[in-house]
Copies of this chain bind each other. A is one copy, B any other.
Amino acid sequence: MTWRHALMIDPAASGADLTDFTATFSDVDPAGPVLSLGELSAQRGDGVFESIGVVDGHPQDVTAHLERLAHSARLCDLPRPHLGQWRAAVHVVAERCPAGESVIKLVLSRGVDRGPAPTAWVTATAAPDFTRVRRDGVRVVTLDRGIDSDASARAPWLLLGAKTLSYAVNMAAIREAHRRGADDAVFVSSDGIVLEAPTASVILRFGDRFVTPEPAAGILHGTTQLSLFAFLAARGFEVGYERVSVDRLQRAESGWLVSSVRLAAPIARVDDHPIPVDAALTASFNDHLLSPRG
């Protein structure tokens, strides 16, 4: 299935008093030429993005994604996105999504080099089929992120908490994981603290407590992790943000990589350490994540 939809949106046209945003959207050919070579997204990876899961036409966790888009934009000194405009664009493309799982991407670029304003677009495509990986899980390797866990606090220009378009290192880490016979990577700080996967958050179980690395260590605050923590807390489990050592990751009772489109993929192995896959709990996570949310 190769359907795709794309809208350019004009961020500069979104006055605070605007309520009908459709005049600020324009349909474009998702496979055709749209961006100029002067685009700073393409020249510099200079912009921010979000990926939103869509189930049967319902976009999930939209508010959490829009708030993170605004947070990323602020860290990158981009003009504040008008969230009403972006929400309207998400709903326009979500309505075109067929039954099943889709993915909506939001991109806010700094625009054309020396141009007047940011460029922004929203696309919708079919999601890949993650049925197998949600059941059988992923083998991960830990990879040094080079940065210590205090770097984010002392050096905000490293943009560690922003979801920027500069993802070359994330992509290189996944290729390195494949070279090592694994499916995915988990980044670890140079002082041995678990951070995040290149495109997912990490959740670990120790007894009845579920933990995820603290966003303060310089990682994205995961929208799917937030949704699963609410799900777990409502069922009486303890949830928390912690500094997690690599050693503790390797000894987790269970673990998951969680993200908006792949959803909850159980961690089946960390480096040379097998991790038990809890099939029933994982299925309940994914049932929750596939139900209409947010």
Contact = CB atoms under 8 A, between A and B. Distances in A.
Contacts of A49: 43
Interface stretch (A24-32, A259-267, A269-277, A280-288): A24-32
A109 B44 contact: no
A165 B45 contact: yes
A142 B36 CA distance: 34
A185 to B, nearest CB: 8
A23 interface: no
A45 B166 contact: yes
Interface in A119-151: 121, 123, 143-148, 151
B77 A175 contact: yes
Interface residues of A, number: 56
Interface in A160-218: 160, 162, 164-173, 175-176, 190
Interface in A22-56: 28, 30-39, 41-47, 49
A167 B165 CA distance: 9
A3 interface: no
A158 interface: yes
Nearest to A152: B146
Contact of A35 (B36, B77, B105): B36
A154 interface: yes
A155 interface: yes
Nearest to A154: B144
A83 interface: no
Given A107-B43, A165-B42, A165-B44, A173 B157 contact: yes
A93 interface: no
Contact of A34 (B37, B43, B145, B160): B37
7 contacts: A30-B36, A31-B38, A41-B41, A42-B165, A146-B146, A148-B190, A159-B172
